[in-house]
A and B are shown apart, each in its own frame.
Chain A
Amino acid sequence: MKPFFSTLRARQLNGYVCQTCTRQLRRKPQRRSYASTSSRTPEIFDVVCVGGGPAGLSLLAALRANPITSTLKIALIESQSLTPTRTFSPSPDSFSNRCSSLTPSSVRFLSDIGAWKFVRGERVQGYGQMRVWDGVSGAAVHFDAFGGAEKEKRDEGGVVAYMNENVNLTAALLRRVEELGGVEILDGERVEDITLGREAEEGDLSQWPVVKLSGGRELAARLLVGADGANSPVRGFAGIESTGWDYGRVGLVATLCMEGEGEAEGRVKTAYQRFLPTGPVACLPLPGKFSTLVWSTTPELAAKLKSLSPRDFVGMVNAAFRLGVVDLKYLHTLEGGQEEEAAWREDHVGFDGSKIPQRVVGVQDGSIASFPLKLRHADTYIGERVALVGDAAHTTHPLAGQGLNAGQGDVESLARTIEYAVAHGMDIGVRMSLEQYMAERYVKNHVLLGVVDKLHKLYSVESGPLVGLRSLGLGAVDALEPVKAFFMRQAAGTGKIL
C-alpha cells in the first residue's frame, strides 16, 4: 500500500474501490488535516442510505412505516435526480426496458410497507408459468421454475410472479417514502468522500462514517447503508471485498411488441426462456401486446444485434426462440437481411408454436440496451456502522430473475434487525446489532448465487456429455432436483435454503 493510504489502515482499502473513489480517497489526507483545524461538525443521522434504487427506497419506506423505527433520523443520498421518478407519468403504449419479475414474497413485503398500492397495476403483468427449454438438445426443461409453488399459485390466482418496470416500483416507493415523510432526501448529490469522523469536545465520532456530498454537506451516520448498486462506494469505504467473476456476457434488453396479447382471455400469461450456448434468451410478458426481452449473450453479438435495423433485430429475436443453434450462428454473421433469412429457415424447422412465445412484430424505439453480467458477492454485508443491501451486496446472472428480489429480501431482514435493535436500545450501527441481518441473508444469497451460476454454466456447454445428459430429458434442472426445489421455494417466497 502506498504511503498516502496509511492513514486509512483502519478501513483497509482494497482492489474493489472504483477509480473515482480511489482518487477521492487519495485526496483524503489533505482534507483530513484541513478538517482537523476546521470547526465544522457534521450533521448527525441515525441512518444515511446511499442509493435510491429499489433496495434503498424500500428500506426507507420500511423504516418509516414502522412506528418503532420511525423515530430514527434518516437521510437518503442519490446521485441521480429523483424528479423523473417522482413525476413518473408513463404512456400506456410504451414500457421501460428495465423490468424485473417480482416474486409473491417481494410483493407481499411491498404491500406490508404500504408501497404496493402506489404501483400502477395496469403496468404490471402477472404470469402463471415459465416455459424453459434447452436450445441445444431441444429438451424441455421442466424448470417450471415457479410452477412448483402450487399453493402460492392458488393464493395469487394462478400467478407465480409479476413483471414490472423498475421505475414503476421506484416511483411507488418514492411516493410512499414522501407520503410517510421524515426522510431528508438529497438527490442529485454525489458522494464525494467517506471518512471517519473526529473526536471533538462534544463527542467522539472517530468510529462514525462521515459522508461528504458534492454540495458540501457532511453527514455523520450511526448506520451507513450501502444501497448504491454493484459498484458500491460504501462497500469500498468499508473495505469489504467483493469477489466473483464476470460472465463475459451482457444482458441485452428491449421492449418488444408481440403479434397478440399472449394467452387467451382470462388466463394468465406465460414467460419463456431458452438456453442457448451463449446464454439464455427470455421473453417475459408485459401488459397488452408488450413483452420484455432479456437476452444474455457475448458483448460482440450484443453489439451486432444493436447495430441491426429494427426489422432485422425483430427477425433475430424470433429466430432466437425458433431456430437451431447452427442457424443462429450463421444469422449472426450476416451484415443484414436477417429477417428474410430467418423466415426462410423457419419454414424448414419444426417447432411447436404452442410452446414458444408469440411472434415479435416490433421493437420499441430506443429500448435496446445492454448491461454487463457478473457474479459478485461481498465478503460480508456488515461492518462497524455499515450495512450493504441489494446489488451492493451481491449481483447475479438475470436468468432466474432473482436480483431485485434478493435485494427486497435483504431489506426486509435489515429493517427487522434495525427494529429489534431500536426496541432494545441497541446502537443500530454497531456490528453486533447487525449480526442478525448477516445471519439471515448471507448463506441464503450465497446459495442463490451459486445455483444461478451453475445453471448458467450447465447450459453454456455446446457439446459433450452434459448435452447428452440434458437431452435425455433429464432436462438438467430436472436432474438437479435440489436446484429445482430451490427455485420453487424461492418463487414461493419461503426462501428456505437447501
Chain B
Amino acid sequence: MAMAMATPLRPTSLRNLHLLLRTAPRFVHNQFGSHNTSTNSSSVNPTEVSHFNALASTWWDPHGSSRLLHLMNPLRHDFIHRCHGMQPVPPPSANLRYLDIGCGGGIFAESAARLTGTGLVTAIDPSPEVLGVAQAHARRDPGLSGKLSYLNTSIEGLAKPGSVEEQYDVLSLFEVIEHITHPAEFLDACQEYVKPGGWIVMSTIARTWTSWFTTKLVAEDLVGIVPRGTHDWGKYINEEELRGYFLEKRGWNSPMVMGVVYVPGLGWKEVSGSEKVGNYFFGIRKDENGEFEIGAKSVVWGH
C-alpha cells in the first residue's frame, strides 16, 4: 500500500484489455501450481493496487473505461444462478450471504445486495481509494443500507469465520485471480470462508497466445495504452488448472464453467468452449458434509 501512488496511470482499465481476446491455440505453461515460498503475507500485489486506485474515479461511469465490466455484471448473476440451479436441493431463497473479494468500485457487490434473496454482502478490497469510491457510491442507494458492508482489507486481514453462520453461501472473485501473485495460496485462504454447500465463483481469463498477444504485446508494447509491465500474463490461469486445484483437494465438487466473449454491438455472449481461449467463469461447490476448521483444530459436522 505504501507504493500506492507509484506510477500515475491512465484510467484505462486493464481489465478491459482482457476483452480483446479471441481464439488461439492453447499455451500450455503452468506456474499456477508452483507455490512460492516468499514470506509476503499478503496476496495483494502493490502494483495492482496502484493501478486500481488510478481507475477509481471512472469506476461508475457507465460510458467510461469500466463499461465492459458493467455490461458483464449481469452474466455473473446468471452464472451463479446456474451454479445454484445444479444443486440437488436449491439454496435458500432468503438471507444468502455473499463475500466479494476484490470488490473494486462495488459493481458486483451492490448488485448482489439488491437481490431479494440476499441477506448480507461483505465486500473487501485492499485499495482505500477504490473502496472509498465504492462506499460513496453505495450511499446513493438507500436500499443498500444494512445489506452491504465494505471493508478495506485483503483476505488475510479479514476476520476468520467463527461458525457456519459466519461463513458465506457465495464467495466471489471476479477479475481478481489474475492480479494475485500467489493464486494457490490465495485460494487456500479463501476456502474457510465458504459454507458447506456454498460456492466459490470467479471470472478470469485463460492464458493463451491470444491473451499474450492482445494484452501484453499489443496493449503494452505496441500501442502502449497501458504502461509496460502492467500485465503479468504469466499470472493468467486456465480453467483446467483451477479445476485441478480444487478437485485434488478434499471437499470440493461440481466444477462449473462458462466461457464468454464480448461481441461489439451485442455485448457479452456465452460461447461454449471459449473458456479455453478468453474470459470465463468458474464455479466450484464445497461439499455439504465437510470439516469446519477453526485455526488448527477441526470441527466435524454432519447432517
Show the binding face of A for B, using Cβ within 8 Å.
44, 46, 71, 202-208, 222, 420, 422-427, 430-432
Residues in B with CB closer than 8 Å to A427 are 110, 114, 141
Bound together, the chains give a CA A115 to CA B278 distance in angstroms of 47
Contact check: which of B62, B139, B142 meets A430 at CB < 8 Å? B62
Among the listed A44, A207, A423, which residue makes an inter-chain contact with B140, where contact means beta carbons less than 8 Å apart? Answer: A207
B84 at the interface (CB under 8 A from A): no
B115 at the interface (CB under 8 A from A): yes
The answer to whether A426 and B143 touch (CB under 8 A), given A71-B116, A431-B62, is: no
Contact A426 B142 (CB under 8 A): no
Q: Is the C-beta of B77 less than 8 angstroms from some C-beta in chain A?
A: yes
B289 within 8 A of A: no
A128 vs B74: C-alpha distance when bound (angstroms): 44
B70 within 8 A of A: yes
Residues of B contacting A222 in the complex (Cβ-Cβ under 8 angstroms): 141, 143
Cβ contact within 8 Å between A203 and B142: yes
Chain B residues in 8 Å Cβ range of A44 = 142-143
* Pairwise interchain contact A425-B113, C-beta atoms closer than 8 A: yes
Since A44-B143, A207-B140, A426-B73 are in contact, a sample of 20 more A-B pairs with Cβ atoms closer than 8 Å, ordered by chain A residue number, is A44-B142, A46-B143, A202-B142, A203-B139, A203-B141, A203-B142, A203-B145, A204-B139, A205-B140, A420-B74, A422-B114, A423-B77, A424-B73, A425-B112, A425-B115, A427-B110, A427-B114, A427-B141, A430-B62, A432-B70
Q: Is the CB of B140 within 8 A of A425?
A: no
Chosen A-B contacts, 16 in total, with CB atoms closer than 8 Å, are: A46-B143, A204-B139, A204-B140, A205-B142, A206-B140, A207-B140, A424-B77, A425-B112, A425-B113, A426-B73, A426-B114, A427-B114, A427-B141, A431-B62, A432-B62, A432-B70
**B111 beta carbon closer than 8 Å to chain A:** yes
Bound-state CA distance A432–B113 (Å) is 18
Q: How far is the CA of A196 from the CA of B42 in the complex (A)?
A: 44
Report the Cα distance A71→B141, complex, angstroms: 16
The number of inter-chain residue pairs (CB within 8 angstroms) is 48
Q: Is the CB of B142 within 8 A of A424?
A: no
Q: Give B108's nearest chain A residue, CB to CB.
A: A425
Q: Which residues of B contact A430 (CB under 8 A)?
A: 62
User: B residues 94-133 with Cβ under 8 Å of A?
Assistant: 110-116
**A425, B110: Cβ atoms closer than 8 Å:** yes
Determine how close the nearest CB of chain B comes to the CB of A44; give it in whole angstroms: 6
**Whole-angstrom CA separation of A427 from B73 in the bound complex:** 12
Chain B residue nearest to A423 (CB atoms) is: B77
Residue of B nearest to A426 (CB): B111
Q: Which residue of B lies closest to A206 (CB)?
A: B140
Q: Which 6 A-B pairs have the closest CB atoms?
A: A425-B111, A424-B74, A425-B114, A203-B142, A432-B62, A204-B139
Residues of B within 8 A of A71 (CB): 116
Specify which chain A residues have a CB less than 8 angstroms from the CB of B111 in the assembled complex.
424-426
> In the complex, which residues of chain B have a beta carbon less than 8 angstroms from the beta carbon of A205?
140, 142
Residues facing A in B188-218 (CB within 8 A) are none
Q: Which residue of B lies closest to A431 (CB)?
A: B62
> Secondary structure of the B side of the interface?
helix
> Given A204-B139, A205-B142, do A426 and B62 touch, yes or no (CB 8 Å)?
no
Name the B residues within 8 Å of A202 (CB-CB).
142, 145
Residue among A203, A208, A222 with most chain B CB within 10 A? A203
The smallest C-beta distance from B115 to any residue of chain A, in angstroms, reads 5
Q: Give the Cβ gap from B264 to chain A, nearest Cβ, in Å.
A: 14
A432–B77 Cα distance when bound, in Å, is 17
B66-103 with Cβ < 8 A to chain A: 70, 73-74, 77-78
| Complex alpha-carbon distance, A432 and B267, angstroms | 13
Q: Report the separation of the CA atoms of residues A46 and B141 in the bound assembly, to the nearest whole angstrom.
A: 11
A44 to B144, CA, bound (A): 13
Closest to B118 in A: A425
Query: B140 CB to closest chain A CB, in angstroms?
Result: 5
A188 to chain B, nearest CB (A): 28
Bound: A202/B143 CA distance, A: 11
Residue of A nearest to B67 (CB): A432
A206 to chain B: which residues have CB within 8 Å?
140
Query: Which residues of chain A have C-beta atoms less than 8 A from B110's C-beta?
Result: 425, 427
Contacting A at CB under 8 A, from B36-74, are 62, 70, 73-74
Question: CA of A423 to CA of B73 in the docked complex: distance in angstroms?
Answer: 12
**Complex Cα–Cα for A221 and B125 (A):** 30
Shortest CB-to-CB span from A81 to chain B, Å, is 32
Name the CB-closest residue of B to A41: B142
A423: chain B residues at CB < 8 Å are: 77
A173 to B137, CA, bound (A): 37
Given A71-B116, A431-B62, A432-B62; A426-B140 close (CB under 8 Å): no
CB of B139 within 8 A of CB of A426, answer no
Please name all residues of chain A whose beta carbon is closer than 8 Å to the beta carbon of B136 when the two chains form the complex: 204
Answer whether A425 and B139 are a contact pair too, CB < 8 Å, given A71-B116, A203-B145, A430-B62. Answer: no
Q: How far is the CB of B31 from chain A (nearest CB, A)?
A: 35
* A71 and B78 alpha carbons, distance in the complex (Å): 20
Q: Cβ of B62: which chain A residues have Cβ within 8 Å of it?
A: 430-432
Q: In the complex, what residues of B have CB within 8 A of residue A203's CB?
A: 139-142, 145
Enumerate chain B residues within 8 angstroms of A424, measured Cβ to Cβ: 73-74, 77-78, 111
- Report Cα–Cα, A426/B111, bound state, in Å: 5
A237 to B211 Cα, complex, angstroms: 47
For B116, what are the chain A residues with a Cβ–Cβ distance below 8 Å? 71
Closest A residue to B81 by beta carbon equals: A423
Which residues from A are CB-within-8-Å of B142?
A: 44, 202-203, 205
Q: What is the bound-complex CA distance between A53 and B111, given in angstroms?
A: 32
Instruction: Kindly list chain A residues whose C-beta atoms are within 8 Å of the C-beta of B70.
Output: 432
Nearest A residue to B62 by beta-carbon distance?
A432
Q: Which residue of the partner chain A has the closest CB to B140?
A: A204
Closest to B116 in A: A71
A263 CB to closest chain B CB, in angstroms?
48
Question: Would you give the shortest CB distance from B100 to chain A, in whole angstroms?
Answer: 12
CB distance from A75 to the nearest CB of B (A): 15
Chain B's closest residue to A428 (CB) is: B114
- Are A426's CB and B145's CB within 8 A? no
Contacts of B113 in A (CB 8 A): 425
Q: How far is the CB of B121 from chain A (nearest CB, A)?
A: 10
Taking the closest CB of chain B, its distance from the CB of A427, in whole angstroms, is 6
Assembled-state Cα–Cα distance A427/B144 (Å): 10
